[in-house]
Chain A
Amino acid sequence: MDAPNNQTILVGEDRPIRLDSGVDLGPVTVAYQTIGRLNADRSNVIVVCHALTGDHYVAGTNPVTGKPGWWDMMVGPGRVLDTDRYFILCANVLGGCMGTTGPRDINPSTGRPWGLGFPVITISDMVKVQVRLLDALGIDKVFCVIGGSMGGMQVLEWATAWPERVFAAVPIAASYRHSAQNIAFHEVGRQAIVADPNWHGGAYHDHGVTPHRGLAVARMTAHITYLSETALHRKFGRKLQNRETITYGFDADFQVESYLRHQGSTFVDRFDANSYLFITRAMDYFDLATEHGGKLANAFRETPARFCVISFSSDWLFPTMESRAIVHALNSVAANVSFVEVDSDKGHDAFLLDEPEFHETLRGFLDGAARHRGLRPFPAKEADR
Chain B
Amino acid sequence: MTASSLPAASVSGSNGDLRFDLRLIADMVTPGARVLDVGCGDGALLQYLARTKGVDGRGIELSMAGVRTAVRRGVSVIQGNADTDLADYPSAAFDYAILSQTLQATQRPRDVLAHLLRVGGRAIVSFPNFGYWKARWHLLTKGRMPVTQGMPEEWWETPNIHFCTIKDFVVLARCMDIVIEKGVALREDGRLNRLSATGPWANLMSAQAVFLLRRRDMETPT
Contacts and interface: CB of A to CB of B under 8 A. Distances in A.
Contacts of B58: 334, 336-337
A343 interface: yes
Contacts of A339: 67, 77-80
B89 A364 contact: no
Interface string B32-74: 0000000000000000000000001010000010011011111
A327 B74 contact: no
A365 B74 contact: yes
Contacts of B89: 331-332, 334
A341 B80 CA distance: 11
A35 interface: no
Interface centre among B75, B80, B88 (most CB of A within 10 A): B88
Contacts of B64: 340-341, 343
B73 A368 contact: yes
Interface residues of B, number: 22
Contacts of A290: none
A247 B187 CA distance: 76
B88 A332 contact: yes
Interface in B84-100: 85, 88-90, 93-94
A308 interface: yes
B79 A334 contact: no
Contacts of A342: 68
Given A336-B58, A340-B64, A340-B67, A331 B78 contact: yes
Contacts of A338: 67, 70-71, 75-78
B52 to A, nearest CB: 14
Contacts of A62: none
A128 to B, nearest CB: 29
Chain A's interface size range is 20 to 34
A365 B76 CA distance: 8
Contacts of A337: 58, 76, 78
Contacts of B94: 334
Interface in A321-355: 327-328, 331-334, 336-343
A129 B90 CA distance: 35
Contacts of B74: 364-365, 367-369, 371
A340 B79 contact: yes
Contact of B88 (A306, A309, A328, A363): A328
Contacts of B71: 308, 338, 340, 361, 364-365, 368
Interface centre among A306, A331, A364 (most CB of B within 10 A): A331
A178 B78 CA distance: 23
Interface string B159-198: 0000000000000000000000000000000000000000
A341 B89 CA distance: 20
Nearest to A327: B78
B188 to A, nearest CB: 34
Interface centre among B74, B89, B90 (most CB of A within 10 A): B74
A334 B72 contact: no
A252 B96 CA distance: 63
A369 B74 CA distance: 7
Interface string B85-121: 1001110011000000000000000000000000000
A360 B79 contact: no
Interface of A: 306, 308-309, 327-328, 331-334, 336-343, 357, 360-361, 363-365, 367-369, 371
User: What 9 pairs across the A-B complex have the smallest Cβ distances?
Assistant: A368-B74, A364-B72, A334-B93, A339-B78, A331-B88, A338-B71, A338-B76, A332-B88, A361-B71
